[in-house]
Structure 1
């Protein structure tokens, strides 16, 4: 994919996230300042996101989703009746340290109680999303490579096609100890808040 296509994709994602966020904020009757208070994202940044003038990082999207008690896919996925999720063709968001690229695939409802992602973890890197909101259950399967998953102070080593389920409302991180990209498949369930 060339740089022009990446810029077009980033602009499309920024516009979509901004429009969706503005709609959700208004639906909940929140001012920008109230949204800033519950998400720990500055009012200026939120305003730029809503206008499509900023392409938010993965950590900012997580903060917004956690503050609103919703899946990140509700902010990132276009609303469609039939969705075909082909590799490398959907929306992508990259972690601040560029260790992890996340591709939201599907959600089940407008604000979703389930979301599904692909994640691409770079060699010798770590992706630490921190703790999600209370009630989030995370299911992860290694589709290619291997990963160390740290939950609180415990480490779990998963190989290709190994899966794990855990409460994601505690600090956790994904570490790729290999020289190759690791591909993960995530399913996250959310309790109604």
Structure 2
């Protein structure tokens, strides 16, 4: 129990220091914002002090952060997503395959798919919710994207961005498999 207690106040110290440095704030400035003394803030950051809940509330209120942001585990600096480990979502009898390469994350508000379409394949997409945006980055083949009665022809290296809150259609116009990344951005 004592070790677990020690861990949490060290975690709070590291988190507080990371937040303070990310905002380019001095200990003096944080003391002014929170009403917690510079000496106490320094002790907390070094992990020398186990702050009371009321002191933590002063800190989170003064910095306008959530309470849990001081105690949650730090996200890994690198996350490796392997295409070979991803199961595709399939449509059009398997001729349209969307691989959810980077899943949706509440903090980041987007997801990334790698899409493969066989020659001649066409896929109609329903309207997404209002505010949803889509980015397509071409990797292989050619693609026709249609929305608002407008058609855009895309080839390798091209990119397109549009509001996805209306029906849209993708069609592989190449005689080879077409591949592209699609980034779907959700409103916060």
- TM-score tier, shorter chain, comes to 0.5 to 0.7
Which of 132, 139, 143 lines up with 1:136 in the alignment? 132
Residues 103-112 or 158-167, more deviating: 103-112
Separation in structure 2 between the aligned mates of residue 89 and residue 101 of structure 1, nearest angstrom: 14
CA RMSD of the aligned region, Å?
2.0
User: Could you say what secondary structure the match of 1:88 adopts?
Assistant: helix
Return 5+ residue gaps in structure 1 as ranges.
Answer: 1-79
Which of 114, 135, 152 lines up with 1:156 in the alignment? 152
> Larger C-alpha radius of gyration, 1 or 2?
2
**Normalised TM-score (structure 1):** 0.54
Runs of 4 or more, structure 1, over 6 Å off, are none
Instruction: Kindly provide the CA deviation profile for residues 54-75 of structure 1, in whole angstroms up to 9, marking residues without a partner as x.
Output: xxxxxxxxxxxxxxxxxxxxxx
> Residue 98 of structure 1 aligns with which residue?
94
The question of whether the paired residues in 2 share the 8 Å contact of 1:147 and 1:158 is answered with: yes
Return 5+ residue gaps in structure 2 as ranges.
Answer: 1-74
**Normalised TM-score (structure 2):** 0.55
Separation in structure 2 between the aligned mates of residue 156 and residue 179 of structure 1, nearest angstrom: 18
> Residue 182 of structure 2 aligns with which residue?
186
Which of 88, 94, 109 lines up with 2:105 in the alignment? 109
Separation in structure 2 between the aligned mates of residue 87 and residue 191 of structure 1, nearest angstrom: 26
| CA gap 1:123/1:88 in 2 versus in 1, 3 angstroms | farther
| CA gap 1:101/1:170 in 2 versus in 1, 3 angstroms | same
Which of 81, 84, 104 lines up with 1:85 in the alignment? 81
**Superposition pairs of residues 2-41 of structure 1, within 5 angstroms:** none
> Residue 165 of structure 1 aligns with which residue?
161
User: Could you say what secondary structure the match of 2:99 adopts?
Assistant: strand
